[in-house]
């Protein structure tokens, strides 16, 4: 790590089911409450799963002008709003020496404009081709959120969207680190956004038997590492970071939240949806992140787990952590914030990177709620039901996606 350009986080923005800004998000995690409730966005009659983690009290027109809202799918609205919070937080706009040719955007989405696709398909079937909006394609494509953010601020550096299912947000942040270390940019706006809660999204995941069907108690449904878990719960929102070279951040006097010291990106090459046995791909991702940072496993104090509340995934991740960390695995704090936010799919890595950074900043670990009947095969310290104080210098964030995509971020408490 000593020969590599140091990369830090100088701004953060979040829209989540437990808070519509970074401070609200952190307070929501510390309150240890679920954001799940019956779905309000469409009629759930006939759906096996009738609940999700939706954004609460959110109106896009409170952040974006009405005309622009009508030309953006919700996932893009979320990205633009969270990016605005992150950019303001970073102080970039106030820096007169900013070279916008060296500021890029890598905001990904696992699915993109699914709600737009559903709505425009209805228009086509009911009224014919002439009823399809001219904005259909620009609203649909996953890269459009990066495009909108770059246009808004005039950022002309590297600009694209990574798509790797539920690992998307973390891959986008890892890309930001690579771009800066390879001197292709000084600053990257990075993260993920997702708006999958629609008729087709719920029906599709239900057909896979991937979602919890605990309709009688939605707030108890996302229960990672619990023996009674029965599937994940969908969430929506965005998590965006301002990722910057340390030299650039110091030159403009920016506040620094944390240092991104390593990442791991691997593929399972095993199955479309199931993780490799023993979490083999996750093992290699975590080891890669540690090796890149040049640190031993025992320096890590906290892991923000992928922890989706699926029977197979939680077990495999627990096995992977034990493989990488050995005896130290039982001294680690491991928690899944998805127990509170639900699974934001392509946005998960963004909001969970923010949760990991805030855990380092506040020296406090968010809990895994609804962990009341621990699975004997998941036998680590998952910080059940209430946050705890901890002495933390390094923390990991894991995200894994359908298709065998694995991404791990290693974050360090900043020091000169």
Q: Exactly one of 53, 248, 343, 405 is catalytic; name it.
A: 343
- Helix 144-153 to helix 74-90 angle (10° resolution) is 40
Distance from C-alpha of 318 to C-alpha of 295, rounded to nearest angstrom:
21
Token reading at 410: 């290693």
pLDDT over 60 (residue 2): no
pLDDT tens sequence across 23-82: 999 999 999 999 999 999 999 999 999 999 999 999 999 999 999 999 999 999 999 999
Token reading at 11: 């701004």
Average pLDDT score over the chain: 97
pLDDT over 60 (residue 1): no
Assess contact for 263 and 410: CB atoms under 8 A: yes
The structural domains of the chain, ordered by start, are 7-416 (3.40.47.10)
Distance from C-alpha of 126 to C-alpha of 169, rounded to nearest angstrom:
36
pLDDT over 70 (residue 251): yes
pLDDT tens sequence across 261-285: 999 999 999 998 888 888 999 999 9
Distance from C-alpha of 54 to C-alpha of 235, rounded to nearest angstrom:
6
- For position 3, what pLDDT does the model report? 67
Q: Exactly one of 76, 306, 378, 405 is catalytic; name it.
A: 306
Place of tokens 């127990």: 339
End-to-end CA distance of the chain: 14
Give 58: exposed, middle or buried? Use CB within 10 Å, 0-12, 13-18, 19+. Answer: middle
Distance from C-alpha of 382 to C-alpha of 179, rounded to nearest angstrom:
34
Nearest to 405 by CA among 191, 202, 162: 162
> Is 306 part of the annotated catalytic residue set?
yes
Give 173: exposed, middle or buried? Use CB within 10 Å, 0-12, 13-18, 19+. Answer: buried
- For position 162, what pLDDT does the model report? 95
pLDDT tens sequence across 75-108: 999 999 999 999 999 999 989 999 999 999 999 9
Pairing relationship of beta strands 103-108 and 187-194 according to DSSP bridges: parallel
> Is 166 part of the annotated catalytic residue set?
yes
Distance from C-alpha of 171 to C-alpha of 269, rounded to nearest angstrom:
17
Q: Exactly one of 76, 148, 166, 405 is catalytic; name it.
A: 166
Distance from C-alpha of 25 to C-alpha of 30, rounded to nearest angstrom:
9
Assess contact for 224 and 338: CB atoms under 8 A: yes
pLDDT over 50 (residue 337): yes
**Mean pLDDT computed over 384-389:** 98
Assess contact for 318 and 409: CB atoms under 8 A: no
Give 374: exposed, middle or buried? Use CB within 10 Å, 0-12, 13-18, 19+. Answer: middle
Assess contact for 192 and 348: CB atoms under 8 A: yes
Half-sphere CA count of 68, side-chain side, radius 13 A: 17
Percent of the chain surpassing pLDDT 90 = 96
pLDDT tens sequence across 390-401: 999 999 999 999
Q: Where are the alpha helices (DSSP H) in 31-143?
A: 66-70, 74-90, 114-127, 136-140
Contacts for 95 with CB less than 8 Å, ≥ 6 apart: 252
Q: Which residue has the higher pLDDT, 145 or 94?
A: 145
Token reading at 326: 């050995």
Long-range contacts of 121-125 (CB under 8 A, 24+ apart): none
Contacts for 147 with CB less than 8 Å, ≥ 6 apart: 159
Instruction: Report helix, strand or coil for 144.
Output: helix
pLDDT over 50 (residue 119): yes
pLDDT over 50 (residue 356): yes
Rg of the chain on CA atoms, in Å: 20
> Is 248 part of the annotated catalytic residue set?
no
Token reading at 263: 């990442």
pLDDT tens sequence across 184-232: 999 999 999 999 999 999 999 999 999 999 999 999 999 999 999 999 9
């Amino acid at each position: 790590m000593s020969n590599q350009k140091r990369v830090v986080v100088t701004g953060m923005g979040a829209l989540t089911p437990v808070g519509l800004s970074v401070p609200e998000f952190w307070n929501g995690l510390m309150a240890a409450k679920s954001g799940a409730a019956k779905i309000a966005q469409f009629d759930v009659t006939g759906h096996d799963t009738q609940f999700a983690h939706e954004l609460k009290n959110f109106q896009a027109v409170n952040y974006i002008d009405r005309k622009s809202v009508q030309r953006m799918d919700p996932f893009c609205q979320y990205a633009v709003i969270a990016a605005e919070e992150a950019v303001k937080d970073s102080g970039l706009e106030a820096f007169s020496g900013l070279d916008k040719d060296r500021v890029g955007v890598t905001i990904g989405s696992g699915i993109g404009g699914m709600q737009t696709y559903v709505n425009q398909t209805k228009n086509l079937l009911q009224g014919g081709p002439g009823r399809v909006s001219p904005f259909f394609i620009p609203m649909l494509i996953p890269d459009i959120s990066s495009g909108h953010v770059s246009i808004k601020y005039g950022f002309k550096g590297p600009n694209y969207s990574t798509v790797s299912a539920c690992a998307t947000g973390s891959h986008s942040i890892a890309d930001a680190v690579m771009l800066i270390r390879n001197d292709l940019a000084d600053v990257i706006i990075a993260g993920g956004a997702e708006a999958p809660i629609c008729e087709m999204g719920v029906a599709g995941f239900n057909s896979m038997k991937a979602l919890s069907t605990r309709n009688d108690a939605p707030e108890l449904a996302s229960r990672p590492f619990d023996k009674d878990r029965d599937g994940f719960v969908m969430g929506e929102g965005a998590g965006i970071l301002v990722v910057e070279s340390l030299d650039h951040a110091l030159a403009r006097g920016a506040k620094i939240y944390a240092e991104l010291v390593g990442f791991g990106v691997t593929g399972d090459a095993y199955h479309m949806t199931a993780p490799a046995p023993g979490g083999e791909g996750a093992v290699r991702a975590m080891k890669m992140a540690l090796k890149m940072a040049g640190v031993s496993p025992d320096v890590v104090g906290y892991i923000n787990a992928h922890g989706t509340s699926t029977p197979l995934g939680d077990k495999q991740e627990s096995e992977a952590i034990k493989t990488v960390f050995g005896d130290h695995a039982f001294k680690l704090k491991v928690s899944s914030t998805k127990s509170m936010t639900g699974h934001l799919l392509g946005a998960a890595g963004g909001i969970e990177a923010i949760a990991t950074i805030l855990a380092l900043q506040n020296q406090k670990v968010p809990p895994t709620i609804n962990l009341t009947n621990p699975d004997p095969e998941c036998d680590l310290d998952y910080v059940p039901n209430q946050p705890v104080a901890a002495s933390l210098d390094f923390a990991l964030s894991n995200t894994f996606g359908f298709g065998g995509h694995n991404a791990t971020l290693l974050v360090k408490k900043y020091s000169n």
